[in-house]
Chains A and B, each alone.
Chain A
Amino acid sequence: MDRALFPDGLERCSFGKFVLWMGFVSAFFLFGLYAMLLIFAKGIVVTGLDNYFGFGLWITFDLAVIALGAGAFFTGFLKYILKIDQLKNIINLTVIVGFICYSGAMLVLTMDIGQPIRAWFGYWHPNVHSMLTEVIFCITCYCLVLVIEFVPLVLEQKQLNKIPFLHHLAHNMHVNMALFAGIGAFLSTFHQGSLGGMYGVLIGRPYAFREGFFIWPWTFFLFVLSAVGCGPIFTVLCCTLMEKMTGRKLVDFKTKALMGKIAGTMLTVYIFFKILDTYAWANNYLPSIGMTFDQMFYGLVYGKWLMFTEIILCGLVPAIMLITPSIRNNPTLLYTAGILDCIGVSLNRYLFTVQSIAMPILPFDTWQIYAPNWAEWATSGMIVAYGVLVMSLSYRYLPVFPQERGMNK
């Protein structure tokens, strides 16, 4: 029925099946939309956030997807600036994943702030000292860049591309893509770093705070490195999931392994510095304010196992797996390492967000427990559903994977 819209020479599932799938995903989306409208109408009092947990699932979710979406800028940087040509096989996908992650994060942020009507104040009354200002700037700008990067792909849709103006527009945008990739890399490095700095400057939160040099450049680069250490492999995981679901080959394994190598290298550098950072923090900073490493953890929910999972099991282990060619070149092990890697970085964002503020700093205070409620889950789920919808449409109608035709003959 919609065959005329498919990319040249490619097979897609029946329209009925597609509608069923889209309907299934839309159900989640609509449920989240209901929660979102409720939040806009009644305020975030309907969520599980409270006086102690001003930040919760949403901020964790935002930080995690922004890290996971880092594949876009970093792959773009490698492809267009460093001219690693093999990455053209997956570059489109990284752009779409990045676009979904960033636009989704921005949507979550508008819900998260108490006065959505003032969301643009970050531009109008910017506090240049605030890391968050930098994050607001860079995320919104970079989201625009991602739109610009996404547009030519949309214009390459078979029917649209028949319109001469759009065809030329797409072509010209492609020609100048290196420029946008450069801007993207620049903006992203900044806001990924600033996201780290956001926590690093929290002088009243010993779990997150780092002093002087350990804020800048240290936490900045830890966040940048952890993002580029997981973004590329996350794209690979998305791609592989799509392959499993559609039953078609989309990107050759060599490219995937290359992405794994890129992520692994970055992750290795990251984890090395992260371990140093943690050691210095536990042995120098904490005692200086009268606290101990043990005090940073509590019971099972806030136990040390979280930090060990983050740094060792989901940090050091995947780093070694990804930089060891023999492991990396085994698909199962590559994907396993990728999953561990993505969990590790997301856990890192969670710990900085929730553990930091759950901990009693006043000696007479107590640990507080935070549990996101349905409204937070539903809206986060909405973003995931939104991503799946965008991805499904893109896959069905846009020429995302240059190798697809060749690999599925």
Chain B
Amino acid sequence: MGLDRRGFVKIVVGGVAGTLFTPVIWQSLDDVSIWSQNWPWIPRLNKGEVKAKAALSKLCPAGCAVKVKTVGGLPFAVVGNTANPMSKGGVCPVCAAGAQLMYSPARVKSPLKKVGEGKFEAIKWEDAEALLVEKLTALKGQNGKIAAINGDETGSAGEVISGLLAGLGNSGYYMMPGEKFVAEKGVKLMGGSGQPGFDIAGADLVLMIGADALDSWGTTVANQKAFAATRPTGAAATAKFVYAGPVLNHSAAVSDKFLPVPPQATAAFALGLANLLINAGAVSSASDFAEYKALAAKYTVEEVEKATGLKAESMKALVDLIKAAKSPVVIAGASFGQGAGALDFVAGASLNVLLGRVGSGMTLLPAAPKAVAGATSSDKDAASFLAEVATGKAAPGALIVYEANPAYALPQADDMAKTLGNIAFKVSFSTYMDETAALCDLILPAPHPYERFDDALNPYGVAKPTYLAGKPVVKKPVQDCKDPVDVLLGAASKLGLSLGFDTYADVIQAKAKALGADFDALAAGGIWTGEAKGGSLNLGASALAKVAVAKTDDKTLAVAPVSNQANGSATLATPPANLLTVRETELSGKDLIVQMNAATAKKAGVAEGNKVKLSAGKGELKARVHLNEGVAPGTVAVLLGFGRSAWDEFTKGKGDNVYKILTVSDEAGTGLKVWAGSTVTVAKV
């Protein structure tokens, strides 16, 4: 029986027709469509056991005690560590993006040696370390020739760096400017010593002057937890929060009261408040009370209104709140965590003295024992140091930059970058290709926080001595990096110097031991706390006598840099997983959006959506205007963290960098360089 052509056609046609009546073809089509979820370019999920490992996530300035969730050993998410009394299960938005940051395209993938303008060549670690040793050997013993800038206020790495410098006969160890440095100066001006702390959890009234304590000041998450504890949902609040500062920011949004105070009038506001409190019967046993009282008397409600625009009723209502409070605390700081003068701090802190809250609301932390014997502390910040380099007063031949980004995050940033560029040999220990690393001659990639040992002692703001430590979550770093401290210790030994340790892990264990803490418990997510020291403070009256309210005119506006933690920090451009949190009123395409109130805009001759140029000193910033009635009069609010010139496609060239238009001035009587309260001129483009 053969199959002829006709039969064949019949079978084919019949077969096709028959198949159409079976589910086969339709089901296959359906399967194909479902399968169309899985194009080869759609990433697959990782498989494996899900675990949560404790980690110290030093991505935000204070550091979050978190748990890193891993799948098959690979980190994918960050959750709070409920067992840790400081973070109590909370995570800041930056640390929440921590796992993805391990794979940030901005990470430095291997040691890099500069071979031309903006050009780098990947080199081997042994060559990189040899180069570092060679440069340091040449300058060893010549004081002033080797300098270091440290951007990590809390880690023991600072001890190693300063110890190394001291061992090499150099004293040029500088911290990036931060609140802690200024606050310690302020405490000195008030006749005390040590790092001040603030007990938000124990207060029934928290007055934040400038300090954005619920978003970007101090130990943010601990502050937020303390705030939250006083506000049980659905029940009465047990504490009042008041924010006085230039912008209706995240702290002000949840505060009971927001008082718009221009950035240059912070001290005047505090002293005006002191005047009203004294008039209402507040007295202090501080030795300089009489002097203080006389000084405060000059800050009448009229004077305060002139300086801040605040009406008498607002001030009086605040005084009533303070009087009604049993345990008020006043926190003073710059709205963006740096650049404020010590006088602003003293003016705010003096209120704690006046209210008799030193030792309870405001505390002083004792000096901590050192792990590295030769470690020193820095008495000058990086801004002052680079100012000296610019004028030729300092002439370092080598600069070590650790976890810092001075080329981006110092006032008149462009000038700072130029100055930095002129130093003969610069080495940056950095996880990411930031603006400073991009200027350096040698870049040594540092591990991501989940790949390294690290610690945090007394993050600024804590009321009690506090110590946290963490160990790596992953076995091997994603990139070819080495712990910077390990590298420095290795270099030290090649330079014939012994700092007493071989690795950073050893340093941290020694530090824990010195404090009386158990490293293993800390690494498992625990915390060590000590007791604040006693001691009293005076009102800082003699220092405060030098307070001067900077005058602004119609042509210039005060700049209020605003920090939103989610946008990153000086050493971290907005993480990829945080890009969504930037509002349409903050960034539009490549345009930064600056904010001012309608009256200010009218005076400056600009309107909603206008393109403007803000300039001060040699710096210039381009932006668009958005009207926001939550900005203090005569003030322009500019968001920090944009205008990156390095990093990745997500951040590079987006917006502009407010540091470019901040100008440094010398604070009367304290010798500090300050830039909070900088003024700018605004011109429509």
Do A and B have CB atoms closer than 8 angstroms in the complex?
A: yes
Q: Which residue of A lies closest to B34 (CB)?
A: A118
Q: What's the minimum C-beta distance from B26 to chain A, rounded to whole angstroms?
A: 7
Q: Is the CB of B36 within 8 A of A124?
A: no
Q: Is A115 an interface residue (CB 8 A)?
A: yes
Q: Is the CB of A118 within 8 A of B36?
A: yes
Q: What's the minimum C-beta distance from B25 to chain A, rounded to whole angstroms?
A: 12
Q: Is B33 an interface residue (CB 8 A)?
A: yes
Q: Is the CB of B29 within 8 A of A120?
A: yes
Residues of B within 8 A of A124 (CB): 26, 29-30
Q: What's the minimum C-beta distance from B37 to chain A, rounded to whole angstroms?
A: 10
Q: What's the minimum C-beta distance from B404 to chain A, rounded to whole angstroms?
A: 39
Q: Which residue of B lies closest to A123 (CB)?
A: B26
Q: Which residue of A lies closest to B27 (CB)?
A: A124
Which of A115, A118, A121 has the most B CB atoms < 10 Å from its CB? A118
Q: Is A20 an interface residue (CB 8 A)?
A: no
What is the CA–CA distance of A124 and B33 in the complex, to the nearest angstrom?
11
Q: Is the CB of B36 within 8 A of A117?
A: yes
Q: Is the interface of B mostly helix, strand, loop or mixed?
A: helix
What is the CA–CA distance of A118 and B33 in the complex, to the nearest angstrom?
6
What is the CA–CA distance of A120 and B30 in the complex, to the nearest angstrom?
9
Q: Among residues 120 to 142 in chain A, which have CB atoms less than 8 Å away from a CB atom of chain B?
A: 120-121, 124
Q: What's the minimum C-beta distance from A79 to chain B, rounded to whole angstroms?
A: 35
The 5 closest A-B pairs by CB, nearest first: A118-B33, A117-B36, A117-B33, A124-B30, A124-B26
What is the CA–CA distance of A298 and B81 in the complex, to the nearest angstrom?
49
Q: What's the minimum C-beta distance from A125 to chain B, rounded to whole angstroms?
A: 9
What is the CA–CA distance of A124 and B34 in the complex, to the nearest angstrom?
13
Q: Which residue of B lies closest to A120 (CB)?
A: B29
Instruction: Name A residues whose Cβ lies closer than 8 Å to a Cβ of B.
Output: 115, 117-118, 120-121, 124
Residues of A within 8 A of B30 (CB): 124
Known: A120-B29, A124-B30. 10 other contacts (CB 8 A): A115-B33, A115-B36, A117-B32, A117-B33, A117-B36, A118-B33, A118-B36, A121-B33, A124-B26, A124-B29
Can you list 12 A-B pairs, Cβ within 8 angstroms, ordered by A?
A115-B33, A115-B36, A117-B32, A117-B33, A117-B36, A118-B33, A118-B36, A120-B29, A121-B33, A124-B26, A124-B29, A124-B30
What is the CA–CA distance of A120 and B33 in the complex, to the nearest angstrom?
10
Chain B contact-residue range equals: under 10
Q: What's the minimum C-beta distance from A385 to chain B, rounded to whole angstroms?
A: 31
1/0 per residue B4-27: CB within 8 Å of A?
A: 000000000000000000000010
What is the CA–CA distance of A118 and B32 in the complex, to the nearest angstrom?
9
Q: Which residue of A lies closest to B33 (CB)?
A: A118
Q: Which residue of A lies closest to B30 (CB)?
A: A124
1/0 per residue B124-153: CB within 8 Å of A?
A: 000000000000000000000000000000
Residues of B within 8 A of A120 (CB): 29
Q: What's the minimum C-beta distance from B225 to chain A, rounded to whole angstroms?
A: 28
Q: Which residue of A lies closest to B37 (CB)?
A: A115
Q: What's the minimum C-beta distance from A296 to chain B, rounded to whole angstroms?
A: 25
What is the CA–CA distance of A286 and B33 in the complex, to the nearest angstrom?
42
Q: What's the minimum C-beta distance from B111 to chain A, rounded to whole angstroms?
A: 39
Residues of A within 8 A of B36 (CB): 115, 117-118
Q: What's the minimum C-beta distance from B580 to chain A, rounded to whole angstroms?
A: 12
Residues of A within 8 A of B32 (CB): 117
Residues of B within 8 A of A117 (CB): 32-33, 36
Q: What's the minimum C-beta distance from A37 to chain B, rounded to whole angstroms?
A: 18
What is the CA–CA distance of A118 and B26 in the complex, to the nearest angstrom?
12
What is the CA–CA distance of A121 and B26 in the complex, to the nearest angstrom?
10
Q: What's the minimum C-beta distance from A367 to chain B, rounded to whole angstroms?
A: 14
Q: Which residue of B lies closest to A118 (CB)?
A: B33
Q: What's the minimum C-beta distance from A364 to chain B, rounded to whole angstroms?
A: 13
What is the CA–CA distance of A353 and B669 in the complex, to the nearest angstrom?
68
What is the CA–CA distance of A239 and B499 in the complex, to the nearest angstrom?
96
What is the CA–CA distance of A115 and B30 in the complex, to the nearest angstrom?
13
1/0 per residue B185-199: CB within 8 Å of A?
A: 000000000000000
What is the CA–CA distance of A111 and B77 in the complex, to the nearest angstrom?
37
What is the CA–CA distance of A120 and B32 in the complex, to the nearest angstrom?
12
What is the CA–CA distance of A383 and B32 in the complex, to the nearest angstrom?
30
Residues of A within 8 A of B33 (CB): 115, 117-118, 121
Q: What's the minimum C-beta distance from B200 to chain A, rounded to whole angstroms?
A: 30
Residues of B within 8 A of A118 (CB): 33, 36
What is the CA–CA distance of A396 and B29 in the complex, to the nearest angstrom?
41
Q: What's the minimum C-beta distance from A117 to chain B, rounded to whole angstroms?
A: 6
Q: What's the minimum C-beta distance from B82 to chain A, rounded to whole angstroms?
A: 33
What is the CA–CA distance of A118 and B36 in the complex, to the nearest angstrom?
9
Q: Which residue of B lies closest to A121 (CB)?
A: B33
Q: What's the minimum C-beta distance from A14 to chain B, rounded to whole angstroms?
A: 44
Q: What's the minimum C-beta distance from A122 to chain B, rounded to whole angstroms?
A: 12
Residues of A within 8 A of B26 (CB): 124
Q: Which residue of B lies closest to A125 (CB)?
A: B30
What is the CA–CA distance of A117 and B30 in the complex, to the nearest angstrom?
10
What is the CA–CA distance of A121 and B32 in the complex, to the nearest angstrom?
12
Q: Which residue of A lies closest to B29 (CB)?
A: A120
1/0 per residue B93-130: CB within 8 Å of A?
A: 00000000000000000000000000000000000000
Q: What's the minimum C-beta distance from A55 to chain B, rounded to whole angstroms?
A: 22
What is the CA–CA distance of A120 and B29 in the complex, to the nearest angstrom?
10
Q: What's the minimum C-beta distance from A369 to chain B, rounded to whole angstroms?
A: 14
Q: What's the minimum C-beta distance from A347 to chain B, rounded to whole angstroms?
A: 31
What is the CA–CA distance of A117 and B33 in the complex, to the nearest angstrom?
7
Q: What's the minimum C-beta distance from A120 to chain B, rounded to whole angstroms?
A: 7
Residues of B within 8 A of A115 (CB): 33, 36
Q: What's the minimum C-beta distance from B628 to chain A, rounded to whole angstroms?
A: 15
Q: What's the minimum C-beta distance from B316 to chain A, rounded to whole angstroms?
A: 33
What is the CA–CA distance of A121 and B36 in the complex, to the nearest angstrom?
13
Q: What's the minimum C-beta distance from B593 to chain A, rounded to whole angstroms?
A: 16
What is the CA–CA distance of A8 and B29 in the complex, to the nearest angstrom?
47
Q: What's the minimum C-beta distance from B583 to chain A, rounded to whole angstroms?
A: 13
Residues of A within 8 A of B29 (CB): 120, 124
Residues of B within 8 A of A121 (CB): 33
Q: What's the minimum C-beta distance from B18 to chain A, rounded to whole angstroms?
A: 20
Q: Which residue of B lies closest to A119 (CB)?
A: B33
Q: What's the minimum C-beta distance from A50 to chain B, rounded to whole angstroms?
A: 13
What is the CA–CA distance of A121 and B31 in the complex, to the nearest angstrom?
12
Q: What's the minimum C-beta distance from A40 to chain B, rounded to whole angstroms?
A: 14
What is the CA–CA distance of A124 and B27 in the complex, to the nearest angstrom?
9
Q: Which residue of A lies closest to B26 (CB)?
A: A124
What is the CA–CA distance of A115 and B33 in the complex, to the nearest angstrom?
9
Q: What's the minimum C-beta distance from B326 to chain A, rounded to whole angstroms?
A: 37
What is the CA–CA distance of A283 and B472 in the complex, to the nearest angstrom?
66
What is the CA–CA distance of A121 and B29 in the complex, to the nearest angstrom?
10
Q: What's the minimum C-beta distance from A110 to chain B, rounded to whole angstroms?
A: 14
1/0 per residue B30-74: CB within 8 Å of A?
A: 101100100000000000000000000000000000000000000
What is the CA–CA distance of A389 and B26 in the complex, to the nearest angstrom?
35
What is the CA–CA distance of A202 and B490 in the complex, to the nearest angstrom?
69
Q: What's the minimum C-beta distance from A99 to chain B, rounded to whole angstroms?
A: 25
Q: What's the minimum C-beta distance from B584 to chain A, rounded to whole angstroms?
A: 10
What is the CA–CA distance of A297 and B231 in the complex, to the nearest angstrom?
41
Q: What's the minimum C-beta distance from B536 to chain A, rounded to whole angstroms?
A: 49
Q: What's the minimum C-beta distance from A74 to chain B, rounded to whole angstroms?
A: 34
Q: Which residue of A lies closest to B36 (CB)?
A: A117
Q: What's the minimum C-beta distance from A170 to chain B, rounded to whole angstroms?
A: 25
Q: What's the minimum C-beta distance from A71 to chain B, rounded to whole angstroms?
A: 34
What is the CA–CA distance of A120 and B28 in the complex, to the nearest angstrom?
13
Q: What's the minimum C-beta distance from A371 to chain B, rounded to whole angstroms?
A: 17
Q: What's the minimum C-beta distance from A114 to chain B, rounded to whole angstroms?
A: 11
What is the CA–CA distance of A22 and B322 in the complex, to the nearest angstrom?
84
Q: What's the minimum C-beta distance from A127 to chain B, rounded to whole angstroms?
A: 16
Q: What's the minimum C-beta distance from A278 to chain B, rounded to whole angstroms?
A: 35
What is the CA–CA distance of A127 and B36 in the complex, to the nearest angstrom?
21
What is the CA–CA distance of A115 and B32 in the complex, to the nearest angstrom?
12
Q: What's the minimum C-beta distance from B550 to chain A, rounded to whole angstroms?
A: 37
What is the CA–CA distance of A373 and B33 in the complex, to the nearest angstrom?
29
Q: What's the minimum C-beta distance from B203 to chain A, rounded to whole angstroms?
A: 32
1/0 per residue B464-492: CB within 8 Å of A?
A: 00000000000000000000000000000
What is the CA–CA distance of A121 and B30 in the complex, to the nearest angstrom?
8
What is the CA–CA distance of A115 and B26 in the complex, to the nearest angstrom?
17
Q: What's the minimum C-beta distance from A273 to chain B, rounded to whole angstroms?
A: 42
